[in-house]
Structure 1
Amino acid sequence: MSGVRTRPHGAGEAGAGGWEPRMGQMTKMARTSDLEFGGPLGALVLVALLPCTVLYLLLACRTEAASVLNNPLPQLDPSQLWDPAALILVLAWFALQSVLYLLPLGKVTQGMPLWDGTRLSYRINGLHAVVITALLTAVGTACGLPLAHVHDCCVQLACVCILTSLALSVLLYARSLCVPEAALAPGGNSGNPIYDFFIGHELNPRIGNFDLKYFCELRPGLIGWLLINLAMLMKEWELQGSPSLAMLLVNAFQILYVFDALWHEEAVLTTMDIVNDGFGFMLAFGDLTWVPFTYSLQAHFLVSHPQELSPTGAVAIILLNALGYYIFRSANSQKNTFRRNPGDPTVAGLETIPTATGRQLLVSGWWSLVRHPNYLGDLIMALAWSLPCGLGHALPYFYVVYFTALLIHREARDEHLCRRKYGSAWSTYCGRVPYRIFPYLY
């Protein structure tokens, strides 16, 4: 499912940094001519296919075989898909995260220049939100909140999130028809309503200072992913008498990843999701449904299919995750620092290639190894998250397969954009750094 770009802090142009003067350069937005995902027909198929994929995976986790080839859907009854209580829970969750987003905590910073030269302000308080959420969850659990019930109604919760994502996408597209041209997204202005609905027609829809895309990118789905994982741990504890080592590792690895994303929240402002992509079904569904319900698939699988993990195996998996995290974090930090301030002492000595736009392409440090070292680290971590589930089932490795396809697609998209933007400088860069993601392989 390469159409849902949802990773919060590992995407964007490879090795590009510095400020590109845009103010006054573009007075009218051109129609989008390079259509992705098979154009309008592909977009329509994905709108139908992606929700079905989420439900299929969740239901397959609950079967004895846990096979991606089994089809549990014919066994369903309506009560397995819809519960009014699930709607109340989801709306309450969105309301809580909205309130936390609006709290006057953290700092306010400016985003990158947009296509028309403007820069928006953002409040950076995602870490505050996840800490407050954790405290509220701890208090609620101590007072008897049945967190494990999230496992039992996970499919109903997913159905509500699917409908919520669809409703939000419809409202976003309707709103985008009434905004000025300067507010539109460069990639979602094809003139075809199906395609623009999917990709996102408006770039940064806001209600006052409430930025809808930025909120959805890092808050309800990302923090909800951790809450679902914790609920799976509590359910396993309830069934087995204690959480397994495999479940503890999955929770720990993914807690680290989400806390890293929120600790470095400001870095998301340099990604293509914020700077280039409109807010439509692709991001709304990805943020609110795909992330919490498919990224938690390993923990969900372990509830019904507990795995024995030896201390030696656990240590090996921990070391693998640590390696991936080190590559991922150090490469991203280098890139984000260079983008925001190429004169920063930590990156000022790195070798670069000048471009006609005034920006520089980074060709040293991690970015001399491959064009996307952050993607390499991400994929190593993805494998480490799945290995605690054993090697007997393919289902827990869906995330690895999906994410590999996603990052290869993103890399191809970056390549196209950068070649068009930087011309001969990009060709020089590719000659210096021939490998895209995997050293000596790809």
Structure 2
Amino acid sequence: MADKIKTPRTKEMEFGGFLGASALIFLLPGTVLYLLLTCNTSDASLLRLPGPLPSLESLWNPFALVVLLGWVALQALLYMLPMGKIAEGITLRDNTRLKYKINAFQAFLVTTIIAGVAVVLQLPLSYVYDHFLQFAVASALLSLALSIFLYMKSLTAPESALAPGGNSGNPVYDFFIGHELNPRIGSFDLKYFCELRPGLIGWCLINLCFLMKEIELRGSPSLSMILVCGFQALYVTDALWHEEAILTTMDIVHDGFGFMLAFGDLCWVPFTYSLQAYFLVSHPQELSTVVAVVIIFIDALGYIIFRGSNSQKNAFRRNPSDPSVAGLETIPTATGKRLLVSGWWGLVRHPNYLGDLIMALAWSLPCGVSHILPYFYVIYFTGLLIHREARDEHQCLKKYGLAWQEYCRRVPYRIFPYIY
């Protein structure tokens, strides 16, 4: 029965279609390389080319690839261990619901213990900083290899298993977006595994390695480094603790698993999101206590908005009669669902994005204001969330029709109150 259900052809191609997807396959790795090379220069200026082209020896290190593969294997082992609980995803086109193992937080705790033992044993964690560019190249190659495997696998997948957004018939575009929605090897869900574990947990481990490098160079970690590592560790911990919430996100529900997500999860996230800590090792910044308190307040504000809005949405989805959301005003839709139009979701249409961006600003502020490089994440993330918000709006309009138009009329601002 499932084989007879066909995923319709993708008619609306995103990211500029074939040409945009082709360009991004080269532009994304090039951006990572450029950022890391620039961060290693004395002035860290994005407006100046970072010296001569790096040699092959400076880009390639087989041991870095071995370490990276070992890291992914460790996270895969922790994913498969009988710990955590099982949750069901949304109903698919063939009326089935996939089961997911929810144990990313437990995997994070085990990884933290292992990292703590490495620190106590004084293992050379600073090796990651010293060879960071080589680790990034190895990660990019691993992402490319995984993407090729995913596309080849998708060619034998049943029609019902294809992604609604990655079934255009153009091989380059489908390779980029992802042709198969939920590729699995047995019960091992490749997209779900990569979404949170190797890259997100790896981001925290990379920050720890940078902190250890700073201790090696200066005897103790700076307040700036402590704030950056602490803020980002809180963000990662929150994501892993609320792992089940990603089962309703666009990445899981709509996007296939191709180069876009594979490279994003395994290379872009750990090697660009850690840019502030990487910058601070070679460009130390002094912070006064007053400035540090202000930055902590900004991060706390962002986190309150981010977590409050996400928790409110998740509570409403699970049980609209929950006392925490029962009194909120809603709009009925033709699908039988209701749209929140008060609380956090009456402030702007995407309050979680607003909180995300405020936190992103707080992560960059410890790096000072004399360089734009540490603010790359804020700039990029603003563009990403505005684009994602446009995709969300388009999907919601198709799904909810007039109800969504009414919601937009009632809540006119998308992300930034009274601005956008």
Q: TM-score, normalising length from structure 2?
A: 0.98
Specify whether residues 160 and 396 from structure 1 end up closer, same or farther in structure 2 by C-alpha distance, changes over 3 A only. same
1:401 to 376, 379, 382: 379
Contact 2:32 2:272 in 1 (8 A): yes
Which structure has more RCO (C-alpha within 8 Å, separation ≥ 6)?
Answer: 1
In 2, the alpha carbon distance for the partners of 1:426 and 1:178 equals: 37
Q: Deviations over 1:40-88 (max 9, x none)?
A: 1100000001001001101111100101112226241111100111011
1:337 — aligned with what? 315
Deviation at 1:343, TM superposition (A): 3.1
Residue 188 (structure 2) pairs with residue 210 (structure 1): yes
1:49 to 16, 22, 27: 27
Contact 2:273 2:377 in 1 (8 A): yes
1:244 — aligned with what? 222
In 1, the alpha carbon distance for the partners of 2:55 and 2:123 equals: 27
In 1, the alpha carbon distance for the partners of 2:246 and 2:400 equals: 23
In 2, the alpha carbon distance for the partners of 1:264 and 1:37 equals: 29
In 2, the alpha carbon distance for the partners of 1:374 and 1:400 equals: 15
Q: Deviations over 1:187-206 (max 9, x none)?
A: 10111100000000000011
Deviation at 1:364, TM superposition (A): 1.1
| Pairs aligned (count) | 419
Deviation at 1:344, TM superposition (A): 2.8
Contact 2:305 2:351 in 1 (8 A): yes
Q: Deviations over 1:306-360 (max 9, x none)?
A: 0000000000000000000000000001112222332333222221111111121
Deviation at 1:266, TM superposition (A): 0.7
Which deviates more, 71-80 or 319-328? 71-80
2:277 — aligned with what? 299
In 1, the alpha carbon distance for the partners of 2:180 and 2:272 equals: 27
Q: Deviations over 1:362-415 (max 9, x none)?
A: 111100000000000000000000000000000000000000000000111111
Contact 2:5 2:159 in 1 (8 A): no
Q: TM-score, normalising length from structure 1?
A: 0.93
In 2, the alpha carbon distance for the partners of 1:77 and 1:285 equals: 23
2:235 — aligned with what? 257
2:10 — aligned with what? 32
In 2, the alpha carbon distance for the partners of 1:362 and 1:116 equals: 29
In 2, the alpha carbon distance for the partners of 1:364 and 1:29 equals: 36
In 2, the alpha carbon distance for the partners of 1:309 and 1:411 equals: 35
Residue 418 (structure 2) pairs with residue 440 (structure 1): yes
Residue 86 (structure 2) pairs with residue 86 (structure 1): no
Contact 1:56 1:73 in 2 (8 A): no
Partner SS state of residue 319, structure 1 = helix
Partner SS state of residue 251, structure 1 = helix
Percent of aligned pairs sharing the same letter? 69
1:110 to 84, 88, 110: 88
In 1, the alpha carbon distance for the partners of 2:68 and 2:269 equals: 15
1:159 to 137, 145, 149: 137
Contact 1:249 1:388 in 2 (8 A): yes
1:132 — aligned with what? 110
1:389 to 352, 356, 367: 367
2:206 — aligned with what? 228
In 2, the alpha carbon distance for the partners of 1:73 and 1:257 equals: 35
Contact 2:104 2:197 in 1 (8 A): yes
1:323 to 301, 306, 310: 301
Contact 1:382 1:400 in 2 (8 A): yes
Residue 93 (structure 2) pairs with residue 96 (structure 1): no
Q: 1:106 is matched by which residue type in structure 2?
A: G
2:292 — aligned with what? 314
Residue 154 (structure 2) pairs with residue 176 (structure 1): yes
Structure 2's unaligned 5+ residue stretches are none
Partner SS state of residue 186, structure 1 = coil
1:64 — aligned with what? 42
Q: Deviations over 1:228-287 (max 9, x none)?
A: 111111111111111100000000000000000011111111111111110000000000
Structure 1's unaligned 5+ residue stretches are 1-22
1:347 to 308, 325, 346: 325
Q: 1:36 is matched by which residue type in structure 2?
A: E
In 2, the alpha carbon distance for the partners of 1:58 and 1:317 equals: 25
Contact 2:7 2:161 in 1 (8 A): no
1:16 — aligned with what? none
Q: 1:186 is matched by which residue type in structure 2?
A: P
1:5 — aligned with what? none
In 2, the alpha carbon distance for the partners of 1:387 and 1:286 equals: 24
Q: Deviations over 1:108-140 (max 9, x none)?
A: 111122233321111111111111011111112
Residue 164 (structure 2) pairs with residue 186 (structure 1): yes
Matches within 5 A, 1:136-151: 136-151=114-129
Deviation at 1:27, TM superposition (A): 4.1
Q: 1:434 is matched by which residue type in structure 2?
A: P
In 1, the alpha carbon distance for the partners of 2:189 and 2:348 equals: 34
